[in-house]
Chains A and B, each alone.
Chain A
Amino acid sequence: MSINILRLAALLYAAGAAAYVLFFARPRHRRAATVGFTLVAIGFAVHAASIGLACREFGGTEFFNLRGGFGMLGWIAAGTFLLLQRILPLPAVGAFVMPLVLMSVIPGVFGLGPETRGAIPSIVRLPSLKVHVATATGGVALFAIAFGVALMYLLQEREVKGKNFGALFSRLPSLDALDRLNQRLVRIGFAVFSVGLVTGALVAKNAWGSFWMWDPQQIAFFVVWLLYGGMVQLRHVGVHGRRYALLTLAGFALVLGSMLALGAVPNLTRHGGSFQ
């Protein structure tokens, strides 16, 4: 049941992404952006329903594999994007972020839920784990949007610096707006991710008996946290613009790489793919 609703949500996201891309290609069609926003908003609600149903079906274990994790990531990213459009309306961002959201939802469309059905591990019921999962995915979602924005910054900078005032030049927002947005996303993402780090340690203490186990997942998490923390600090020293955008790209590449590596290699970490 939940998977069919998820498929519907994916369709809505796809339509929303298409509308935003259309708006980007033809900025005269302002309505395309409005339609995109509505589609993504409906998709977000449908996705929420699917997540709620999946929780009933699988009892929470569905989030602890790559597909479920990415699905959750997409949901939070879509929500963050919608919120962002309310605060700082830059519909061009949609053309860059919505395809990312769609990509993160797609794996779940082919199969939802844990690979093996077993008893629900008791640690899933820990409140600190719930906070950990929510904040870790939330942080990654914010980093994902920052990635999209940084990409836009680099594209626009190439246009502005290269004195090439073509199609992208008129469609992309101003460098300053993109830079500030990127900075804000990194800062908020880092704060949310920090909560994830602390709660993650608490979960480790509860489940494994120690805060720090040199588990690959923990190491990856910590390195990412350090990197983004460094970026927040660098901002105060005046690093911005192109360098900051490049750092944002590198940071997210690290996040994505470690998520894929940890999810793809079985038994590399005690957490993630299986809890048995």
Chain B
Amino acid sequence: MSEVFLVGLSHHSAPISVREQVALSGEALKGALVSLRAAAGVEEAMVISTCNRVEVYVLADQAEPARRFFLDRAADADGHLYEHHGSHAVRHLFRVAASLDSMVLGEQQILGQVKEAYGLASAAQAAGSFVSRLCNRAFATAKRVRTETDIGRGASSVSQVAVELVAKIFGDLKGRAVLLVGAGKMGALSAKALASLGADKVLVTNRSRERAVALAQQTGGHPRDWSELAELLVEADVVIVSTGAPNHVVTAEGVHATMKARRQRSLCLIDLAVPRNVDPRCADLSNVYAYDMDDLQRVVHATRSARADSALRAEAIVEAEVMAFSAERDARAALPVLVALRRRAEEIAVAEAERTLAQVGGKLDEKGRRSVEAMARAIVNKLLHGPTARLKEAASSGDSALPGAAAELFGIEGEQEQAPARPAAATPAAAHIVALSEKR
């Protein structure tokens, strides 16, 4: 019986030099999917390819085709691959979709990327009903994790915290200016992040004019002279300070004067320098919001520990979903046996009733004849009630031995093959189930 296999590599297992050799996108990925699907023994396939991971999922009788996918593209991928099958592979996909395997725990992009991978696999006709069920369950799991835990909440980097803070003070930055003082790396990063709030203008100033010009080009801003700093503070609404100076570049007295000139318009000062460049007393002025690196770092740490807590609960959700998925799958596997068993019994009941009626039917009226038929059916049903219930139970608890034993015991192995060929013989309900098991 075919099984789901996963072979992949990710930022946990492989360096970028290997990942970039196997990463595919667009048409190339589609082509790879088609050839993967065409490999012997592969029924369905899906490939997730992002900058942090490449994973191949196949429904097949062995993992070899998925391994080949990697080894054909990068010979040195061998030592970096991980392999799972069955419920381990399912769990892995659920964890990936729920962003529990991501570099930044709880990031939101990965779910979209998995959806995209599924869409591509469907378009290339590599994904069938199994992959579709698997992916839908993965999406549902990710959604549960996102709504039932706090894993995606909070800012996970200093520049994200800065953006969140500014958003809570100004809403958006339309019509406002961001001033970047100094050429620190964190400052440039944060200025870029703030541009996402729609800042109209980014002003850059530095003690050295050349650095200011270079930084302005990098951040898409305008370079200004260092000597203008006082006027710039009046012009800007958000000021990010990260110079290498050992003293306060922005003093409380200076800001006090600035606020008068600004007519008390709110001012946000973000000090990313260590030692600090903004006098901490600035925070005491009204309508001035001043933060230093410690304040921002504290939020980042709080977010990270909150996410780690959430991850525990998220793992429990994933576990529950994996079990539910496996149980569902096993239940499906047990269905053909059940259907065949039922049909065999039904046939016997009908045949025996006919034989009896042929002998004594003449002495019975219509009601009597129906009673005989009903009796035959009732005996069969009563007899099969126990085995049916036990089979269903075994299936949903993941026990696949019992269905096999039942098939052997009742000698219905051969009929299973015939089942799809003659659905007309089955009762309507059974036909429905047969159709389902056919799709699998």
Contact = CB atoms under 8 A, between A and B. Distances in A.
A241 B291 contact: no
A240 to B, nearest CB: 7
A52 B165 CA distance: 48
A27 to B, nearest CB: 10
A176 B289 CA distance: 13
8 contacts: A159-B168, A160-B165, A165-B299, A176-B170, A237-B263, A238-B263, A238-B264, A241-B266
A161 B289 contact: yes
Nearest to B298: A163
Interface in A226-266: 237-243
Interface residues of B, number: 22
B405 interface: no
A156 B167 CA distance: 12
B295 interface: yes
Nearest to B294: A163
A169 interface: yes
Given A160-B169, A165-B299, A175 B147 contact: no
A175 B171 CA distance: 7
Contact of B264 (A28, A161, A169, A241): A241
A176 B266 contact: yes
| Chain B interface SS verdict (over half) | helix
A26 to B, nearest CB: 10
A268 interface: no
B263 A163 contact: no
Contacts of A174: 167-171
A241 B259 CA distance: 13
B263 A28 contact: no
B317 to A, nearest CB: 15
B286 interface: yes
Contacts of A237: 263
A177 interface: yes
Interface centre among B169, B265, B295 (most CB of A within 10 A): B169
A157 to B, nearest CB: 9
Interface of A: 28, 156, 159-161, 163, 165, 169-170, 172-177, 237-243
Contact of B171 (A159, A160, A176, A242): A176
B287 interface: yes
A14 to B, nearest CB: 27
B283 interface: yes
A161 B266 CA distance: 12
Given A176-B170, A176-B171, A241-B266, A163 B295 contact: yes
A146 to B, nearest CB: 18
A243 B285 CA distance: 13
A156 B168 contact: yes
Grouping DSSP codes into helix (H, G, I), strand (E, B) and loop, the A interface class, with mixed when no group exceeds half, is helix
Contact of B287 (A172, A173, A242): A242
Contact of A175 (B153, B164, B168, B298): B168
A28 B147 contact: yes
Nearest to A166: B302
Contacts of B171: 173-174, 176-177
Given A174-B170, A176-B170, A163 B291 contact: yes
Interface in B256-309: 263-266, 283, 286-287, 289, 291, 295, 298-299, 302
Contacts, number: 49
B160 to A, nearest CB: 12
Contact of B283 (A161, A176, A240): A161
Contact of A176 (B164, B169, B264, B295): B169
A111 B153 CA distance: 48
Given A159-B168, A176-B171, A242-B286, 16 more contacts: A160-B169, A160-B289, A163-B298, A165-B165, A165-B302, A169-B168, A174-B167, A174-B168, A175-B168, A175-B169, A175-B266, A176-B169, A237-B263, A238-B265, A241-B264, A242-B287
B120 to A, nearest CB: 30
A241 B170 contact: no
A156 B264 CA distance: 18
Contacts of A177: 171
A170 B169 CA distance: 12
B128 to A, nearest CB: 35
Contacts of A175: 168-170, 266
Contacts of B265: 238, 240
Contacts of A163: 291, 295, 298
A240 B169 CA distance: 13
A82 B171 CA distance: 22
B247 to A, nearest CB: 23
B17 to A, nearest CB: 39
- Nearest 3 A/B pairs, CB to CB: A238-B263, A174-B171, A176-B171
Given A165-B299, A242-B286, A243-B286, A160 B168 contact: yes
Interface in B314-370: none
A241 to B, nearest CB: 5
A22 to B, nearest CB: 15
B306 to A, nearest CB: 11
Nearest to B292: A163
Nearest to B284: A161
A160 B165 CA distance: 8
A169 B298 CA distance: 15
B213 to A, nearest CB: 32
Contacts of A169: 168
Contacts of A239: 264
A240 B264 contact: yes
Nearest to A237: B263
A173 B169 CA distance: 9
B235 to A, nearest CB: 16
Contacts of A160: 165, 168-169, 289
